[in-house]
Amino acid sequence: MNRLALIVMDGIGVSEKTFGNAVAAARTPTLDALMKEGLSATLKAHGTAVGLPSDDDMGNSEVGHNALGCGQVYSQGAKLVNESIESGRMFTSRAWQELVNNCADNGSFHFIGLLSDGNVHSNIAHLKAMLTQTKAEGVKRARVHILLDGRDVPATSAVEYIGDLESHLAGLNSGGFDGRIASGGGRMKITMDRYNADWGMVKRGWDTHVLGRGRTFASATEAVETLRAENAGIIDQDLPPFVIAENGEPVGRIQDGDSVALFNFRGDRAIEISLAFDNDDFDAFDREIYPAVTYAGMLQYDGDLNIPQRFLVSPPDIKNTLTELLIQHGVKEYAVSETQKYGHVTYFWNGNRNGKFSEKLEEYKEIPSDKVSFDERPWMKAAEVTDAVIEAINDGSYSFIRANFPNGDMVGHTGNFNAAVIAVETVDLCLARIAKAAREKGVTLIITADHGNSDEMIEKSKSGKESPKTAHTLNPVPFIIIGAEGYKIKDGAFGLSNVAATVAELLGIAAPEEWDEALIERR
């Protein structure tokens, strides 16, 4: 059987524009040479191509790896929630009714989540629909705990979203209904840790949302503006936590008898806070107070581990993944990344499933990420990931190897252009080593990405003011095959979901009929 290695350059898209383009500014001799040497194309990695509502929606690593590893396009994240709200299914669900009934008499209905319309983790439109329905159901008190974005939306746009939410709440605050913002903080400071990288973030969120502990302000707008003034150059995602207080008391501690809904739909940064609310045996940090609440997530963020136990919208039922196909044919696989993207080459790649399909035929390796801001060490753990890939290539027993280099995405999210250039150049250096090892062992090499990010690092306002862009892009991503003699790229437009069938073709395995077609064909 042929052997193949697939490398995902996370967050490295393709754009003809050079302004603010860290990919174009980087020295990438390896990538440039491989593009000329091999079969190459660009792939659509956003919007409808990855199951999102429209082509105005940025792709992300989760839906990107679903498409790469599953060969099909499923309704994802925002689209799933949109459909559930529009049809009314969310509000007739057992979980929603349990939340409402629990706090109908004297409790508060709390909402926690990322306050933006980035459509990567959440959408403010979903929150507003839920608040409207909360009042319609007869609940008298709602509190919102806002996590500030500045990553999937403009870096300092928090006040705009706060204004939108406060306007919506003002329209609801009549007839005995009382809805307010209760607490908040930057998404990279509180609550939204992932992959057990920094439980201190989650504890800070718990202290802020549940205990009402932290610096107090009269309003969320005052909090953001004051904290910005005190921290020159800070962007929304890094703002410290804050609590809204009235007469010296927090307006929205989470207490016994309350209901709590996490309105984020993306799973990776929702699991840890869900465990804190939904697990009696939780021991990752001292909660101090564990209020008796009814808790639900927007989705079930981990189906295998049942996290959380109660959820509002059912996730896509992904079947017939690439890993399942390869296991059926006895293909031994190896997957590696550092902590920040380890779940993407395992859980998301395998259709949102934890664990392995086969203990015998699959091997996973996680390389712990550094706990520093990624622009301080833009090389991250790329060298270690490369060492692991080369070791797997030289081992000879793995017929399919996959790896993710997070650098272009994680450093891109910091908004630091110079650091992003280094991140891209780091990946290029690593590709040189991997390509050399692949040639020596006769391994076919595929290089692609899951979405763009570092390809647009600066944006201009209508007035011409430049500011860091930390969000993903709508640009296509590269696709390169080295060592596919006798093949050519088909004519047509393709997306990430076409990669799985391409892998199967190169390994000599027939793809399932329901998959999207391969990008290649015999000459």
Query: What confidence tens digit (pLDDT) does each residue in 8-50 have?
Result: 999 999 999 999 999 999 999 999 999 999 999 999 999 999 9
Listing DSSP states for 332-395 in one string gives -EEEEEEHHHHHIIIIITTTS--S-S-TTTEEEEEEPPPSS-TTTSTTTTHHHHHHHHHHHHHH
| Per-residue confidence (pLDDT) for residue 108, from 0 to 100 | 98
Domain assignment present for residue 246? The answer is: yes
Domain that holds residue 214: 78-313
Same domain, 302 and 417: no
Check pLDDT > 70 for residue 220.
yes
Could you tell me the CA-to-CA distances from 285 to 196, 201, 257, 281, 463 in Å, in that order? 12, 11, 23, 11, 47
Query: What confidence tens digit (pLDDT) does each residue in 144-190 have?
Result: 999 999 988 999 999 999 999 999 999 999 999 999 999 999 999 99
Query: What confidence tens digit (pLDDT) does each residue in 428-467 have?
Result: 999 999 999 999 999 999 999 999 999 999 988 777 888 8
Mean pLDDT of 290-313: 90
> Model confidence at 303, in pLDDT bands (50, 70, 90)?
low
Q: Return the percentage of the chain with pLDDT > 70, whole number.
A: 99
Domain assignment present for residue 115? The answer is: yes
Contact 62, 348 (CB under 8 A): yes
Same domain, 369 and 436: yes
Mean pLDDT of 480-495: 96
Domain assignment present for residue 45? The answer is: no
Cis link prior to 308 (omega < 30° from 0)? Answer: yes
> Model confidence at 304, in pLDDT bands (50, 70, 90)?
low
Could you tell me the CA-to-CA distances from 229 to 123, 222, 234, 239, 461 in Å, in that order? 27, 11, 9, 11, 21
Same domain, 409 and 372: yes
Same domain, 144 and 267: yes
Same domain, 327 and 295: no
SS3 427: helix
Same domain, 279 and 414: no
Looking at 313, 348, 380, the residue that finishes a domain is 313
The verdict on whether 75 is a catalytic residue reads no
pTM (predicted TM-score): 0.75
Query: What confidence tens digit (pLDDT) does each residue in 189-212 have?
Result: 999 998 788 999 999 999 999 999
Same domain, 356 and 302: no
Rounded CA separation 352/70 (Å): 10
Same domain, 212 and 106: yes
Rounded CA separation 98/78 (Å): 23
Rounded CA separation 208/185 (Å): 9
Looking at 313, 344, 361, the residue that finishes a domain is 313
Domain assignment present for residue 49? The answer is: no
Q: Any idea what the CATH number is for the domain that residue 18 is in?
A: 3.40.720.10
Same domain, 283 and 240: yes
Mean pLDDT of 423-430: 98
Average pLDDT of the chain is 95
Mean pLDDT of 368-385: 96
| Per-residue confidence (pLDDT) for residue 57, from 0 to 100 | 81
Same domain, 245 and 268: yes
Rounded CA separation 219/170 (Å): 14
Same domain, 356 and 497: yes
Domain assignment present for residue 386? The answer is: yes
Domain assignment present for residue 264? The answer is: yes
Least Cα distance to 448 among 488, 392, 498 occurs for 498
The dihedral through the CA atoms of 278, 281, 287, 289 has a sign that is positive
Could you say which of 15, 54, 61, 259 is catalytic? 61
| Per-residue confidence (pLDDT) for residue 489, from 0 to 100 | 97
Domain assignment present for residue 474? The answer is: yes
Looking at 264, 287, 313, the residue that finishes a domain is 313
Domain assignment present for residue 48? The answer is: no
Same domain, 343 and 300: no
Residue 38 CB partners (closer than 8 Å, separation 6+): 445, 480, 481, 482, 483, 484
Q: Return the percentage of the chain with pLDDT > 90, whole number.
A: 88
> Number of structural domains, the chain?
2
